[in-house]
Structure 1
Amino acid sequence: MKETLAWTEYCKSLSPAIVETCAQTVVSAGPATLVKALGNAIPDWKFRHSFARGGWYRLGGIVDEAGNRLSDSLETWVEQELDARDGDLHHLADDYADRKLFATRLVGQTHYLVASEGDKHDGFLQLEIEDLQEVRAHRLFANDPATVEDLIDPRGGKDTPVPLGLPFYAFRRIQHVGSFLKRMLGQKPEPAPIHRMIEDWGKSSAGSTSAWYNHWVIATREHLDRYHQLVFRAQPIPTLAGDPPEFEAAEGTNGVKLQQALTHFDREAGYPMAWYFHMLTTKAVPHWVAQTAVEDALGGFAYLPQKDVDVVRGWLHRPYAV
């Protein structure tokens, strides 16, 4: 097993081949073509498409009515133009009142791909590739902006986005998830909720049935706090298509009816103990279920395997949410 630093450097070494693959792969061909192209570019790793998360955008640049580009960065352009006018937004608006300039956005989705590295539930590479398209968004200054936010990213605009080119793939990040989680522990030895979740997975029936990364990906983030210390964040994301299953039991339900509700939820999600892990994450299952399931087990109605009862009891003694 490579050490944490070695994994970081190794992942960096894969980046050029991934960047080239993204540039050469047509988005319209679909994720399956992307996976095949990655397999040819980095054959040591068998990536599979796990999940796509969309509905987001980033600020782009500035174009005129004819599509000519004035700047690749709207925020930088506004900052420079305001500096030249001593921060006077109204002065800037007056100077450009007669010009039809438009902000652009990069709209898209993030594709998560995973490849197994070993037997551990956090032993996998996670690759994030963005599917982006630049569109012409709102006309600058048309809304008589009172703040910079009104200028660069107004809310409730009626402008219809106009595509400025074809969608394209862009490499975002590749990392070894187990290595990232070790870095989190190095920063703060007390296990974070994500560490406890993966540990619970391994102890439960879920871990005996399937690897964690077959059902989850992880959104990671690093930033500096006010003391300039590096802070790590990790948020699990279920790879279910659509919303989690509906939990079909009201508070107070126990015994056979609760067993039926848990079994139905697990079958819909595709693995045992899904109800527990969605209780921790998506909140699709309420917390009272954990207490009642353990009470049923202690009362002699053992519809959960003992190892699952032990996991749930551990959570009741030290609750956490991810």
Structure 2
Amino acid sequence: MTQPSRPDTLDLVPKVDATKTAESLPDRPDAELLTQALPGIQPRPHHSRLLEWLKATWPELTFHHRLTRSGWYRPGGVCTSQGQILATDLEAWLNQALGKVEDFEQLLADLEIMQPLVTRFNGSTHFFTASYGKAPEACWQLEVEELQEVMDRKLLNGDAELPEDLADLLEPMHPARLDGHPVGAPKYRLGCLTNLHLALEEAVNAPLLQRFFREWQEATGDAVDFHQFWFFQRHESLTRYGVAQLRLQPHAIKARHLKTLPWDLTVEPMALATQLRSYDKAAGYNGAWYFGLVAGNLVPRELAARLQDDWLAEYRYIAERQAALIRDWLHQPYTL
């Protein structure tokens, strides 16, 4: 099967001249510029070209790749069995085709003759951060999607029951899967650009986040880079009155591994101290267990009362400042 033909879009993307002086470049990351430029930057291992472009475009900032989340996909388009692109939107194409014949059975008959193929976009989301101050919220967070169109399935499955409506064509119960052969090269696309300081001013959970940041700075000082261990997801929704609201949700970068660590709060104090040290080692910094208790549901909340009981019983296997955090949390608990 020949690969679907499509125009080379790289030359259509506005190029940013990396030789421009800092004075002539935007003084802060710009979503419109990123939207235009990202598809023209070819993905490379470790995102080297993207990081070079970011540095050339905003020289006062240094972006770091923090995390990649893969395994998601988006619907693609449709092409003929010979590889000619018919449309980039399957649902719109089917609706248009049905509108022309005005009969679903006739549409199926036409599709039987054409035997069109459906594509999908395999996706990954890459998280980058660039700090411009010491406070955790003094940071730009950039989410970049990497999409690659691949062959997904035959539109019709000759071994399954005939579709009864468009929904069966769009989301068949028994799809005739193809081998996932790439249709084109992977492309970057802007996911989201967030100035955490500005977003914090809008977030409905800002008071809790401010406490989280304050406790982080009290516990770690300037010795630990917050964004090496945490990133934020934006959750935008509408209240029942139709008012838009933003919630910023912190996620531990190593959350998948940290969730697998066992906890047993019935053991002796020294054995519990070993569990705390194991968690900190896995997380990468001292006192990580407290922040895993507050955010991400990574640590059992019952740990706080157990640590307080041991502290009052003169078992001092946590630091004084950690004991103070526990006392404050028990007095006024919160979670993110």
TM range (shorter): 0.7 to 0.9
Contact 2:134 2:222 in 1 (8 A): no
- Structure 2: runs of 5+ lacking an equivalent: 1-25
Partner of residue 143, structure 2 = 128
Q: CA deviation at 1:56?
A: 0.6
Q: Establish whether residue 58 from structure 1 lines up as the match of residue 74 from structure 2.
A: yes
TM-superposition CA deviations, 1:260-281 (whole Å, max 9, x none): 1101210121112212222344
Q: In structure 2, how many angstroms separate the alpha carbons of the residues matched to 1:67 and 1:96?
A: 15
Alignment RMSD (CA, Å):
2.9
Partner of residue 165, structure 1 = 184
Contact 1:198 1:212 in 2 (8 A): no
Partner of 1:243: helix, strand, or coil?
helix
Partner of residue 243, structure 1 = 257
Letter of the structure 2 residue corresponding to residue 273 of structure 1: G
Q: 1:197 pairs with 209, 212, 215, which one?
A: 212
**Which one scores higher on RCO, CA 8 angstroms, separation ≥ 6?**
1
Q: Establish whether residue 213 from structure 1 lines up as the match of residue 227 from structure 2.
A: yes
Partner of residue 266, structure 1 = 280
Q: 1:152 pairs with 170, 185, 191, which one?
A: 170
Q: In structure 2, how many angstroms separate the alpha carbons of the residues matched to 1:198 and 1:78?
A: 50
Aligned pair in 2 of structure 1 residues 241, 283: CA closer, same or farther (>3 Å)?
closer
Contact 1:48 1:114 in 2 (8 A): yes
Show the 5 A alignment for 1:42-121. 42-82=58-98, 92-121=107-136
Partner of residue 179, structure 1 = 198
Contact 1:290 1:312 in 2 (8 A): yes
Letter of the structure 1 residue corresponding to residue 74 of structure 2: R
Q: In structure 2, how many angstroms separate the alpha carbons of the residues matched to 1:89 and 1:317?
A: 65
Q: Establish whether residue 303 from structure 1 lines up as the match of residue 317 from structure 2.
A: yes
TM-score by length of 2: 0.79
Aligned pair in 2 of structure 1 residues 156, 293: CA closer, same or farther (>3 Å)?
farther
- Structure 1: runs of 5+ lacking an equivalent: 1-8
Q: In structure 1, how many angstroms separate the alpha carbons of the residues matched to 2:104 and 2:231?
A: 43
Q: In structure 2, how many angstroms separate the alpha carbons of the residues matched to 1:313 and 1:96?
A: 68
Contact 1:209 1:271 in 2 (8 A): no
TM-superposition CA deviations, 1:124-182 (whole Å, max 9, x none): 00111111101121222325334644422346645122210111212222120121121
Aligned pair in 2 of structure 1 residues 137, 148: CA closer, same or farther (>3 Å)?
same
Partner of 1:301: helix, strand, or coil?
coil
Runs of 4+ with deviation above 6 angstroms: none
Letter of the structure 1 residue corresponding to residue 64 of structure 2: R
TM-score by length of 1: 0.82
